[in-house]
Structures are given as C-alpha cells and as structure tokens.
Amino acid sequence: MPDTPAGPPTPPILLTELLGSQELGLRLLAGPEQADLLWVHTSEMADPYPYLLGGELLLTAGVQLSDADTYVARLVEAGASALGFGVTPVYDTVPDALVAACERHRLPLVEVPPETRFTAIARAVWRLMAEARHRELRRVTRAQQALATAAARPDPVPAVLRQLAVQLEGRVALLTADGGVLHAAGDRTAPDVQTALARLARVVVPSTAPGAGTAGTAGAAPGAGTAGRQPSPSSAAESRGGVHLFAYALGGGQGLALALATPRRDAGDHTVAGIAVVLLSLLTAPHQGADAAGRSAALVRLLLGAAPPEVAPLLGDGDTWTVVHARRADGAPADPLNAGALGAALGSALSDGDRETVRVLLHGRRTVPPQPGWTIGVSEPSPVEALPDADAQAARALGHAVATRVPVCAYRPGVGGLAGLVPPGRAEAHARALLAPLTGPLAETLRCWLSLHGSWDRTAVALRVHRNTVRQRVARCAALLGMDLDDMDVRTELWFALRSRT
C-alpha cells in the first residue's frame, strides 16, 4: 500500500501569479513565463549551485556576477526555476549579457525594481503557497468525503472507482496481477495506455503463477521463496503522450492493483489516490477470523459426504436460518464484490451471487431492513434441512418485491384464518389432487399471478418473462383445470390449494 501523507504536499506557485502582483512590480525580461516555483532563495555568491535544491526563484543583485553565461548555465544545471535580478545598488539596469544568457538557456529572468525588497517577494511567495495549500487541502477533504460516501453504497467498489474518476478527471481501473480489468470508470483510454497500465499493474502486483516464488506478494521479504528476489514496489508511475499513469498495489496480498490515467499530476492527486487505495483494500479484503475456519471445515465435510445438519453448527450459532435474495434496484449486474458487501451490511459472511441475484444466509430469525440500491426478498426462518424450501421462499419474495416495487418483501405463509381450520394433511391431499394437472412452472405462474391480484405486468416482472407468456400460461392453467379463473370463488380455492401444497 502506498505511503499516504497526512495532507497533500504544498503545490508549486506559478511564476505568472507572482508577475501578476501589481504591488511587486516585477517584469519578465527573458525566458518563458511558465515556471513552477517551490521556494525563494537569495544569494550573492558567484556560484550558488551547491546550495540550490531545485525549483527556486533565486534572487540576486549581481554582486559577484562576472561570466553571465556560466552563471546561468550553473543555475539551470542546479534546477533553479527562475532568476530575479534586483537593480541598484550594483547595477542600474539588468545586464544585457545576463538577459541574453537567460534567453539562450531558457531560464525565466525577472527584473526586480528598486522599490521592491527581496523579503517582500519571499512573503508574497509564502502567501501564495499557503493559499494554494489551503485550496488543495479543501479539495482533498471533499474528495475524501465523496469517496467515503461512495464506499457506503450497495455497490461500493464500482462506486469508489466512479467517484475517483470524477475527482481526478481521468480513467481508473481495478486490475488483477495479469492486467485483467475487474471494474473500470471514467473516459476510455487509447489501447497503448491500457497496455501501459497493465504493465504497471504487473510491476506492483507480480503474477502468482507456479514457480513465481514470492513475486506475487507486494512487499514480501527478500529471499522468502526465491533467493535474492526483491520486494515489489507499492506504486509505479510513468507518462505517455501527455497522460500520467499510476498503479498502486492494494493491501492484503490480494493480487489487485488500482490503475490511474490522468491528464495532469496535481499535488493532492497522490493523497486522493491513497485514500481510494485504503478504501478499496478494505472493501475487497477477504473475511478473516475464526468463522472463516468454521466455514472452510463445513465446506470440506459437505464435499466429503456429510449431511447438512451435521455441518450446520460449524456455520454459527442458532438452529434456524433465514435466506435472503437480492437484486440491484437499478438493474445493474451483481458480482462477488457486491455480494460480499451486501452480506457484510446484513451481518453475514455467507453470501453468493451470480450476474442477477445475490443470496445471503443469515443466522436465526432476522428482520432485514431495506438496503439502499437493493430489492430484497426474505424467507421464513427455517431449520437447516429445510433450507432448499427457504431458498424458494426468498426467490418468491424477491419476485413479489420487484413486481410491487417495494425495497423488502418477507415471505408470508398461509397460516391461520379459514385455512387454519382444515387439518394440514387433508389440505395438502386436496391441493395435490386439485393441482395435479399443472406442471411446476404453470403452478408457480398461477400462484404468482393470484398473489399479485391478476396483474399481467407485475407477474411478468416478478417471473422475469414477457407478459404474453404469463397470459398463455394462465390460460393453459384454466384449460387444464377446467375452471373459470375470473370467478373469485375459484381463485380463492386455488389460492388456498397453492399455499397448502408442499
């Protein structure tokens, strides 16, 4: 994981901002006006090279200026950003040889008028730097809040990536060690940029192919596995065609990398990216702890032929279970990361999902609250041997929730009332005889259609079929049963039968 500073570094000050200050009265005499200033340094040495760090606006009155070309060449070699020359008391005007040398070496040369003190220029630079740092801190704070909000969404990983793309105004992607894209957001990039990002991802998260030793774990100790192998860097960067490329390894040894392609490289971008790396590392980390060992043991025993009741105690306390089926409210596909996030929100690590539906297994009798961005169906609490029935109940409840456009629907068995006056055995026998002509899909369509008060559209939504299919199936049911389904008495009898059938 990259080292993330407490705040963004101080952004450089543009020379044009300093030149625009009327009270300073500075004037550009030579060189480009585009330059980044990191600090101010004053020196009257003949060769200040040993004392320069790079990025300075060097202020001088030319006390020991002799060879202008050598002097300027040494400043450029030291990395100075600009030269400020104060006229008087040594020179009445800026020497022509110095102007020519600065123009030749492309070093900005600024004339400092006699009434402007060097300390005033330094104070102006520090003030501009403080203002820039304050702006950058506010930007990073806003980005942090936006990323944290995205992490609380029902689809946290794609949401964080989308928000990061907005904050950095570029392309972001979550990549595997071999460069495969798990999720991406932002404007698409050229194929060569995508190739370069995949290459950077392999640098920070090498492949864990057999024989790779420790290369797959960023930051692994040298010599662990393969003698002399160096640890992978936590981040890598390069530029390509004016686009800045970055890759950061996610924590937890998961073999994932965050890749960025941005049009510029601002001071706070590394901090914002570091915040996203921390959030994504937490969101994609596998569940750890004692319950993981229990789940692994349960899976092994099931694969070796144990019965579900035997392994149920390994999954947690409680002899009853609640099954949850969920679907993204916006119709977007689900994935393992979404499934894990929903399971965590419901307090369970037992989750599964395909491209459409996420299933979560909860311990005991649970009341499931609405989850932003999800449509949810909940089963009855059931013993472990009845989990297949509970799974079907949750699927029906989800279909009803989707059809009626409610966030959560709990399965309600037909118990009590008039139905409770008939002994269960007799009710079940009557239901089997009455519904014998119907196949499973026809009976389920009829049950769903009756539960939704005969609505063709809602039944089609709940069953995820075309409304004409619903009409054809219901008509087929009426023909096979020899009943008029427009008759309320017929509907009532069929409803009791469908609820009584096991």
- C-alpha to C-alpha distance for 140 and 137, rounded to whole angstroms: 5
**H-helix or E-strand spanning residue 270:** helix 269-284
Please give the pLDDT value at position 95. 95
Report pLDDT digits (tens) over 341-363: 788 778 777 888 777 888 988 87
Q: Per the omega criterion (within 30 degrees of 0), is the bond before 89 cis?
A: yes
Report pLDDT digits (tens) over 423-478: 666 777 777 888 888 888 888 888 888 888 888 888 888 888 898 998 999 999 98
Chain centre distance of CA 189: 19
Please give the pLDDT value at position 217. 34
Report pLDDT digits (tens) over 235-251: 888 888 788 899 898 87
Task: Confirm if 262 and 170 have CB atoms less than 8 A apart.
Answer: yes
- Residue 278, pLDDT above cutoff 90: no
Tokens in use for 327? 């679907």
111 or 251, greater pLDDT: 111
Tokens in use for 466? 């075309």
Report pLDDT digits (tens) over 287-304: 444 455 666 677 677 777
Is 390 exposed, middle or buried (CB count within 10 Å of its CB: 0-12, 13-18, 19+)?
Answer: buried
DSSP assignment letter at 386:
G
Q: Give the max Cα distance, the chain.
A: 115
The residue assigned the tokens 């009257």 is: 44
Give the model's confidence band at 161: pLDDT under 50 very low, under 70 low, under 90 confident, else very high: very high
319 in helix, strand or coil?
Answer: coil
Beta-sheet pairing, 56-60 with 82-86: parallel
